[in-house]
Amino acid sequence: MLYWVLKNSIHFGLFCYHRKIEVKGLENVPKNKPILFLPNHQNALIDVLLVGVDCNRKPYFLARSDVFGGQVLNALFNYVRMIPIYRIRDGRNTLSKNDAVFDSCAHVLSRGEAIVMFPEGNHNLKRRVRPLSKGFTRVLFRALEQSPELDIQLVPVGLNYVHAEKFPDSATLCYGKPISVQALYDEEDTQGSVIRIKEAVASQLKTLTTHISPEIQYVEITNYLKTQKVDFLDPVRTNRLIKQRIIETSFVAKTITLGNKERSIFQIIFLSLNFPVILFWRLVVKPKVPEAEFTGTFRFATSFLGFLVYYIILFATFITALNFWWALGIISFLLIFNLCYVKWSR
C-alpha cells in the first residue's frame, strides 16, 4: 500500500511538473517475462522516475552507489527497489562488490521480474546515444550462467525532452520492441555476444530518441533543428531531418541569439503567488546543483516537497484567519492556477 501511494504521488507530481508527458509503445513490454529496461540517460533522476511510474511493471533500479548514504536514505532506496552499482570512480576497491550486485540482479531476473539499468553508464544532456558500456551484459550473462533457459527480454527506452534544464518541460517515453537475449547469446563466444547485444540495443535507442551522431557538427546540427522548430518529442521525424540535412549539405556554423522574452502577466502572477517556493529554489537549492544534468531532478524535488509544505502552511493560515471553506477554495484556486500555468504557458 505504501509503495502504491508513493508511486502514484510521484506520478501526480510528474504530471503537475511537466507540460506534457506522452508514453508510446507500452504494448511492447512483456507482462510475464524477465525484463531489463535499457533507457538512454539525459536527465538524472527524472529519467528514473518517468520509467518507474510508466513501464507497466514494478521494477528494480540499478543506481550509482554514491547516491546511497546514511541509514534513512539507504532504507528508502531499498524500499523503492534501488540497487547500488559501483564504478571505478568510486574506488577500485569497491568494484569487487559488484559481484554480489550481479548475483542479486540474476536472482531478480530468475524470478521473472524487471530491472531498469542505464546502458550508457553516465548521463549527459546532449541529444545523442553514447557508446554503451558492457556492464548490463555482465548482468545478463550472470543470470544466464545461473539459469541457462531464462528468456530475458531487453526493452530499449527512448527518453525525449524539449529542454530538460528548463521549466516547465515536456517529455516522451518510447518503448522499443523487446529483444530476446537467447537469440544473441552464445556461451562459447562471450565477446561476440557482448558486441551483438550492444549493437541491437544501440540500434533501437538511436531510433527511439534524437541521435545527433557527428560530434564535430553537434552545435551546428542542433542550431539547425531549432531554426526548423523541430519537435524533439518526435524522434522519428527529428532523426529523419538530421539524416536528410547531412546528406544534402554541409553545415555552416550558426549562432542563434534568443532575445529575452518579456514576462507575461500569467508568469508574473505565477511568480507572485508562489514566491516563497521560487525564492527557496533560486537562492538555496539551485546554487547547490552539482551538474547541469541534475537541474531537473533538484527542481522537481524542490517543487514536489516545497509546494506540499507551502499549501499546508497556507491552508492552516487561512483556516485560522477565515474558515475551512475559504481556505479550501483559496488552495484549490492556487492549485488549479499553477496547473494551468504549467500546461498552457509559453
pLDDT at 252 > cutoff 60: no
The C-alpha cell that represents 301 in the structure block: 524535488
Provide the angle, in degrees to the nearest 10, between the axes of the packed helices 324-344 and 295-321. 150
Torsion 245-248-253-257 (CA) sign: negative
Cα–Cα distance for residue pair 131/128, rounded to 1 Å: 10
Say which residues have a Cβ less than 8 Å from residue 162's Cβ, sequence separation at least 6. Answer: 169, 170, 171, 232, 233
Of the listed ranges 58-67, 150-159, 318-327, the least confidently predicted one is: 58-67
Q: What is the pLDDT of residues 32-51, one digit of tens each?
A: 899 999 999 999 889 999 99
Where b means 16+ CB within 10 Å and e means fewer, 159-170 reads: bbbbebeeebbb
Cα–Cα distance for residue pair 82/105, rounded to 1 Å: 11
Give mean pLDDT, residues 314-336.
Answer: 95
pLDDT at 171 > cutoff 50: yes
Decide if 326 contacts 318 (C-beta within 8 A): yes
Q: What is the pLDDT of residues 228-245, one digit of tens each?
A: 889 999 999 999 988 876
Give mean pLDDT, residues 109-114.
Answer: 93
pLDDT at 270 > cutoff 90: yes
Question: Residue 276 has what pLDDT?
Answer: 95
Decide if 161 contacts 18 (C-beta within 8 A): no
Phi, psi (degrees; rounded to nearest 5) at 238? -65, -45
The C-alpha cell that represents 224 in the structure block: 539547425
Question: Residue 213 has what pLDDT?
Answer: 85
Cα–Cα distance for residue pair 104/102, rounded to 1 Å: 5
Give mean pLDDT, residues 172-200.
Answer: 94
Of the listed ranges 69-83, 133-147, 188-202, 209-223, the least confidently predicted one is: 69-83
Q: What is the pLDDT of residues 200-209, one digit of tens each?
A: 999 999 999 9
Q: What is the pLDDT of residues 3-23, one digit of tens each?
A: 888 889 999 999 999 999 999
> For residue 88, what pLDDT band results from cuts at 50, 70 and 90?
low
Question: Residue 256 has what pLDDT?
Answer: 42
- Which one, of 156, 154, 200, lies nearest residue 34 by Cα? 154
- Share in percent of the chain as helix, strand, coil (round to 5): 55, 10, 30
Question: Residue 258 has what pLDDT?
Answer: 41
> For residue 29, what pLDDT band results from cuts at 50, 70 and 90?
very high
Strand partners, 64: 85
Decide if 157 contacts 174 (C-beta within 8 A): yes
**What is the DSSP code string of 157-187?**
EEEEES-TTSSS-EEEEEE---EEGGGT--T
